[in-house]
Copies of this chain bind each other. A is one copy, B any other.
Amino acid sequence: MFDYISRYVSLTTEEATILASKFKVRKYLKGQFVVQNGDVCRSESFVLSGCLKSFFIGDDGQEHIVMFAVEGWWTADLGSFIMQTPADYNVQCLENCILAQINYEELEQLYLQVPKLERFFRIIIQKAYVATQKRVINNLSLTARERYFKFREEYPELEQRVPQYMIASYLGITKEFLSKIRSSSN
């Protein structure tokens, strides 16, 4: 995690120590929930190992996957976290996971103690924002087929790690249709 952060801002040993003191490392088993819909999302998690999905249940009763997270990614219901309001999403482990977590109050303290990190998180979010905007674009301008192939290119690891029906959900198509896409010319 330090390696990762130091790509964006350089920390002194002291700052790194403060940083480390705010995070707690926690293990989760496959299937466990890190965030549950309706609860306030109390912490932001950096994935040290494992794989998770964020999803919500639509009015239709169906599960819609918002995003996946693997090693080196952050996960949370950010909307809930920043406003400290009940979460729209669930975050659940698809594998056994090890997460480095920081809660709301400690993060606010951290911003005060190490203002550089304000910059770090700004940059991280900017990138996430741009990526999400690209996803909006793809959803609007590409067919299901094209979206799927783009997904494969961009996240070849996920293609392996995650069941197909979840990828279908992430892409916004049914599992049956994804299966048909795959069978016709892969």
Contact = CB atoms under 8 A, between A and B. Distances in A.
Interface residues of A, number: 34
Interface in A118-165: 118-119, 121-123, 125-130, 132-137, 139-141
A141 B62 contact: yes
A28 interface: no
A60 interface: yes
A130 B79 contact: yes
A66 B119 contact: no
A130 B82 contact: yes
B58 A141 contact: yes
B130 A64 contact: no
Contacts of A67: 133
A141 B78 contact: no
Interface in A45-85: 56, 58-60, 62, 64, 66-67, 78-79, 82
Identical chains bound together, number: 2
Nearest to A130: B79
A172 interface: yes
A38 interface: no
Nearest to A65: B140
Question: Which of A127, A133, A135 has most B Cβ within 10 Å?
Answer: A133
Interface string A11-45: 00000000000000000000000000000000000
Contacts of A129: 78, 125, 128-129, 132
A123 B137 CA distance: 23
14 contacts: A60-B141, A66-B137, A78-B129, A79-B133, A79-B134, A111-B119, A118-B118, A129-B129, A135-B136, A136-B136, A136-B139, A139-B139, A140-B172, A141-B172
